[in-house]
Structure 1
Amino acid sequence: MIGLGVAQTAESGGAPSTAAASSSGPKRARARELMRITKLETFLVKPRWLFLKIHTNAGISGWGEPILEGRARTCATAVQELETYLIGKDPRAVTHHWQAIYRHAFYRGGPILTSALSGVDQALWDIKGQALQVPVYELLGGPTRQRIRVYAHANTPQALKDKMQQGFTAFKTGPAKKRPARPVETPQFTAKLLIKALEPYQPMFIEEPVNCQNVEVMADIARGTHLPIATGERIFTKWGFREILEKGAASILQPDLCHAGGITEVRLIAGMAEAHYATLAPHNPLGPISLAAGLQIAASIPNFLCQEQVSLGEGYLKSPFQVKEGYIDLPKGPGLGIEIDEEALASKIGHDWHNPETYDADDGSVVDW
């Protein structure tokens, strides 16, 4: 399989071991000392994804998705730059590694660093769970639910019918429009008026009625409607979500586990949200590894609403996820609970996906995607 990562090995180094030869005996302590990261591999995977495989000398490998849509090669390079730190370290010190990668960067945050860090974090949790032979949610306190609601994308009536036949009961869609959004909209596309028109139909939530960086305006919109407002797919780390919660701009947070900081950080974001009586509907327009990580979070937090997905893993996982009556059963396997079908994956290596470029039809100026 062709990978973008550079293989390296190391025989020593890493965070100090916390294992002690007590009741577990010296054999277990020695085993902990010997587990080390030996190689990082990244794979450009169709249609627009980036997969990461972290190898260890214990024969356990973990998977993650360190992707930023349209910047797959950039993220692959960012992961490669982390090899200097990760090679030779014990992979099970997950939180320690998160702190080191984030804080030693000096220029903290931003989509590239946190996306690379997110994928690494997912893979390290996968390794830790496999090493202990338990799902990640068991390491986060155990399951809070026995099945996990998921939603699908459906932008046409026929797509909606098809997804319903596949077992989905919740759907993401949007208003039909013939042109990109503009700074000053016509009445039918002005956010406050559109929300008022939708209120009688009681949608589950309204997602980002204005630009997510415009927190004050989003908070004003939230105060003016009884419909829940959701945001978060382009917000990074707990620090990014703090202002949204403090100003009451959204009652549903949508952190993306491939961008916001991985499992480690989204678990903390969920705790912040709970303290503000908010809930989580994690964002995920990406691959099955991202979905698997989201399911582990959903299974371990009390304030979970619904999980976005676009792929259940057919053609990528040896056992794709199954949807029944709108839910996926609680995963039982160790780590992320998935097994990548590397033989099938070999035919899907390589892509050059870019974000769409959109321009105003009247004057040619750049407009938002």
Structure 2
Amino acid sequence: MKITSLRTYLVAPRWCFLRVDTDEGITGWGEPVVEGRAHTVAAAVEELSDYLVGQDPMRIEDHWQVLTKGGFYRGGPVLSSAVAGIDQALWDIAGKALGVPVWQLLGGNVRDRARVYSWIGGDRPTDVAQQAAARKAEGFTAIKMNASPQLELIDTPRAVRDIVERVESVRAEVGDDFDIAVDFHGRLTLPMARRVLPLLEPYLPFFVEEPVVPEMSAHIGEVVRSTSIPIATGERLYSRWDFKPVLQQGIAVAQPDLSHAGGISEVRRIAAMAEAHDVSLAPHCPLGPIALAACLQVGFATPNLLIQEQSLGIHYNAGSDLLDYLTDRSVFRYEDGHVALLTAPGLGIDVDEKAVERAAETGHRWRNPVWRRGDGSLAEW
């Protein structure tokens, strides 16, 4: 079997899908994207296709090594995301060729279902409480919420109390048999993290996600030591080498993104490294159905999986949502806050090719907002 072509599709709301075809008629799908830089990642995939066309798609590990290390310049989100989507597609082809789901190729399933969480907003305390209650009524057992709007380098007591009140309102609404993850998107400086996180401890967050930007990874241990709340990070770390220092500094939850961190091959290795540090895995995935399917294939075969993010109903998905590009939407039916084992070959989903092609005719040019502080300087979004 040989790879004959690679084709990318930019589809709403902000995704990039990849189709890899072979001379035996087996097609694999991947999701290579950096949100806000989808065209750039698609260009990287096109460049990498020069090497891949004519190759045996079953040599997944060798291709991963060549694509990540065969060029003199390595790493970074664009290259790692391009490789991630290709890697997902190759695993999809391998599973379909052998007639088994990818998790079977990873050693078999260690669980029969995977816990998932839903996302809510974070603008006003009354809003988040109501949204959390709605997710609980839908059967979810955990949510993730934004913690704040833009923040100053060291913000006012009122800004700090607003953060606490958001979390407090959700806890009061959902009770103690429900998990609340709090996402800071790197908006805290180190001194702000040391001030804010201890004040959240009475509400027992499931974890606090990315309290500081990844550029501060060398100092994440200071945040870990400042609070009893489990610290999660990793959506903007792209390899096991990026994860090595944060694992050593005591984070509780590793959050590699299957569409950014080298795909199934690399996240499988990151998960094993995390297990050796008594760290749980909670893959980041506010993306589309292919990325989610890839995450779940790893999760079903990974002992230290904590929970899986999924994007159904997330505010980014206005106009198009997670299920719009699938022919069988039942594969992502959530019951009691879990999704059942995917059993179809490959990634376990059937992509609606016509829907993808229609959407790609319009495409997208999604960009993340640019936030500024009160003095006009750039703030973390």
TM-score by length of 2: 0.84
Give the alignment partner of residue 141 of structure 1, picking from 100, 107, 113.
107
Give the alignment partner of residue 329 of structure 1, picking from 328, 340, 351.
340
Q: What's the counterpart of residue 339 of structure 1?
A: 350
Does the 8 Å contact 1:319/1:339 carry over to 2?
Answer: yes
Asked if residue 170 in structure 1 is aligned to residue 183 in structure 2, the reply is no
Q: What's the counterpart of residue 228 of structure 2?
A: 226
Q: What's the counterpart of residue 101 of structure 1?
A: 67
Instruction: Pick closer, same or farther for the CA change 1:216–1:39 going to 2, 3 Å.
Output: closer
Q: What's the counterpart of residue 26 of structure 1?
A: none
Aligned length: 331
Map Cα deviations across residues 268-290 of structure 1 (whole Å, 9 max, x no partner): 00111111111100001110100
Instruction: Pick closer, same or farther for the CA change 1:254–1:78 going to 2, 3 Å.
Output: same
TM-score by length of 1: 0.87
- 1:173-184 to structure 2, matched below 5 A, reads 173-177=145-149, 180-184=150-154
Map Cα deviations across residues 48-80 of structure 1 (whole Å, 9 max, x no partner): 000000000111000001100100110110000
Asked if residue 363 in structure 1 is aligned to residue 375 in structure 2, the reply is yes
d(CA) in 2 for partners of 1:290, 1:358: 28
**Structure 1 regions of 5+ residues with no counterpart?**
1-34
- 1:1-369 to structure 2, matched below 5 A, reads 35-155=1-121, 156-177=128-149, 180-187=150-157, 188-189=159-160, 190-248=192-250, 250-311=251-312, 313-320=322-329, 321-349=332-360, 350-360=363-373, 362-369=374-381
**Structure 2 regions of 5+ residues with no counterpart?**
122-127, 161-191, 313-320
Does the 8 Å contact 1:210/1:217 carry over to 2?
Answer: no
d(CA) in 2 for partners of 1:267, 1:193: 35
Greater shift, 340-349 or 50-59, is seen at 340-349
Q: CA deviation at 1:107?
A: 1.0
Counterpart residue identity of residue 302, structure 1? P
d(CA) in 2 for partners of 1:76, 1:133: 29
CA RMSD of the aligned region, Å?
A: 1.4
Map Cα deviations across residues 248-274 of structure 1 (whole Å, 9 max, x no partner): 2x1100000000110000000011111
Q: CA deviation at 1:153?
A: 0.5
d(CA) in 1 for partners of 2:84, 2:243: 16
Counterpart residue identity of residue 105, structure 2? L
d(CA) in 1 for partners of 2:325, 2:129: 28
Counterpart residue identity of residue 102, structure 2? V
Q: What's the counterpart of residue 13 of structure 1?
A: none
Does the 8 Å contact 1:230/1:251 carry over to 2?
Answer: yes
Q: CA deviation at 1:131?
A: 0.3
Q: CA deviation at 1:192?
A: 2.3
Does the 8 Å contact 1:60/1:130 carry over to 2?
Answer: yes
Q: Which has the higher contact order (CA 8 A, sep 6+)?
A: 2
Instruction: Pick closer, same or farther for the CA change 1:315–1:138 going to 2, 3 Å.
Output: same
SS in 2 for 1:214: helix
Q: CA deviation at 1:186?
A: 2.6
Counterpart residue identity of residue 203, structure 1? P
Counterpart residue identity of residue 150, structure 1? V
d(CA) in 2 for partners of 1:166, 1:36: 45
Counterpart residue identity of residue 224, structure 2? A
Counterpart residue identity of residue 160, structure 1? A
Q: CA deviation at 1:223?
A: 1.6
SS in 1 for 2:365: coil
Which structure's residues are more often helix, by fraction? 2
Moved over 6 A (4+): none
Q: CA deviation at 1:246?
A: 1.7
Q: What's the counterpart of residue 177 of structure 2?
A: none
Counterpart residue identity of residue 144, structure 2? K
d(CA) in 2 for partners of 1:300, 1:137: 6
Does the 8 Å contact 1:114/1:260 carry over to 2?
Answer: yes
